[in-house]
Amino acid sequence: MNNNVISTEQRALPDMGSALDKKEYFCSSVQETNEIARRFAQEIKGGETVLMYGELGAGKTTFTKAFFKTLGVTDTVTSPTFTLMKTYYGRFTVHHLDMYRIEAEEDVEELGLLEEIEDNDVTVIEWNKFSDFIGTVYAVSIEYLGENTRKITIALLQKNA
């Protein structure tokens, strides 16, 4: 992968206050969530890692589906909770990891999942357990505010040089 490294606390939302860039959106429908994901995906150039944060049912997978669709993925995108990682193909090779059932970063390393990820691939990680990242890293936080209301924050944590 690339040569820049960023550290974040495991399982915790990174400090969005130290982000290089941050955008906040409030939405009240799945269609609005999809539009935010679509606009974000249009900024992707390849090689990015996107860390997804939010409670169960907040809309992380919904956001990811629209994000991947905009990146040209035509397959049905489903949560990889039981398979840990799914790979799709569009404008880029895109990987969707769900680490909910993983206890520690070392467990993922032992499985060898990261060996499949190339420099230009786009990787989305739900329930992140990693502490170090290489390349451009975004954090997407989806906060449940009510039955149909969400606050979505997209923060650029690190820009690849």
Task: Provide the pLDDT for residue 5.
Answer: 34
Angle at alpha carbon of residue 79, lines to 101 and 133, rounded to 5°: 65
State the pLDDT confidence band at 160, using cuts at 50, 70 and 90: confident
The structure tokens listed for 123 are 């990787």
- Residue 10 φ/ψ region, left for φ over 0, alpha for ψ in the -120 to 50 degree band, beta for the rest: beta
Task: Provide the pLDDT for residue 8.
Answer: 36
Residue 4 reports pLDDT greater than 50: no
Task: Provide the pLDDT for residue 104.
Answer: 66
Residues 20-62 have pLDDT tens digits of: 899 999 999 999 999 999 999 999 999 999 999 998 888 998 9
Looking from the CA of 36 toward its CB, the CA atoms found within 13 Å total: 24
Give yes or no for a contact between 134 and 1, defined as CB atoms under 8 angstroms apart: yes
Residues 93-140 have pLDDT tens digits of: 999 988 777 766 666 667 766 777 888 999 999 888 777 788 899 999
